[in-house]
Amino acid sequence: MPSRSDHPDNGKSNSRAHRGHTVDELDRRIIRLLQRDGRMTNTDIARKLEVTETTVRKRIGQLLDEGLMNVVAVPTPEAVGMNLSAIIGMSVDLTALHDVGDAIRSYPEVRYIGMSAGRYDLMIEAFFSSQEQLLDFVTDKLGALAGVGNIETSVILKVVKFSYEWEIS
């Protein structure tokens, strides 16, 4: 689903990102259509918006090149056998914050990690296939990192909303 990247490249470098392109109304309309159907053809978009296919193709190319949207297939956690999700708050020695964040970013279970202000220094969302896998993750992976203090894990009992879409006004 296309979306304005709130997490730039999910940690990957993109030297072309945000060269100053301002998203205008036509860009927004293209993005809204792709949010509803990411497989919609440029021709179909052009027809709906009453512009040329060339215009749509160039606009989409520019939005992608500048990192202002992504078009991806996102399987649900259940589709890949991850039936247990957890939000994990971590207290970390501030001198180790970047190193700990970089280490956690490499773990395949982790879908989101953010440095935060407040009770915890890092907030993590991760998915697991079992309680045993969650336990191993917290004790063997997170617990082994230098600089990690308190870890608080909240198991998600039921997901009420799961979306990657951002409203584009």
Domains of the chain, by residue range, sit at 8-65, 77-156
Q: At 164, is the pLDDT very low, low, confident or very high (cuts 50, 70, 90)?
A: low
Percent of the chain with pLDDT over 70: 85
Task: Please tell me which residue, 33 or 162, carries the higher pLDDT value.
Answer: 33
What's the mean pLDDT when you consider all of the chain?
85
Higher-confidence residue of 13 and 74: namely 74
pLDDT, tens digit, 9 for 90 and up, residues 20-44: 678 999 999 999 999 888 899 999 9
Tokens of 89: 């708050």
Look at residue 163 and tell me whether its pLDDT is greater than 60.
yes
Asked if 64 contacts 72 with a C-beta cutoff of 8 angstroms, the reply is: no
Q: Is 65 a residue whose pLDDT tops 50?
A: yes
Q: 104 and 124 in contact (C-beta within 8 Å)?
A: yes
Rounded CA-CA distance 39/131 in Å is 36
pLDDT given at position 106: 95
Q: For 2-11, 50-59, 80-89, 151-160, which range has the lowest pLDDT when averaged over its residues? A: 2-11
Helix, strand, coil percentages for the chain (3-state, nearest 5): 40, 20, 45
Helices (H), the chain: 25-36, 42-49, 53-65, 97-105, 131-136
Q: How confident is the model at residue 19 (pLDDT cuts 50, 70, 90)?
A: low
**CA 128 – CA 80 distance, rounded (Å):** 10
pLDDT surpasses 60 at 151? yes
Q: What is the pLDDT of residues 98-147, one digit of tens each?
A: 999 999 999 999 999 999 999 999 999 999 999 999 999 999 999 999 99
Residue 160 pLDDT exceeds 60: yes
The listed CATH number (3.30.70.920, 3.40.50.150, 3.40.470.10, 3.40.120.10) that belongs to domain 77-156 = 3.30.70.920
Q: How far apart are CA 28 and CA 23, in angstroms?
A: 7
Fold designation for 8-65: Arc Repressor Mutant, subunit A (1.10.10)
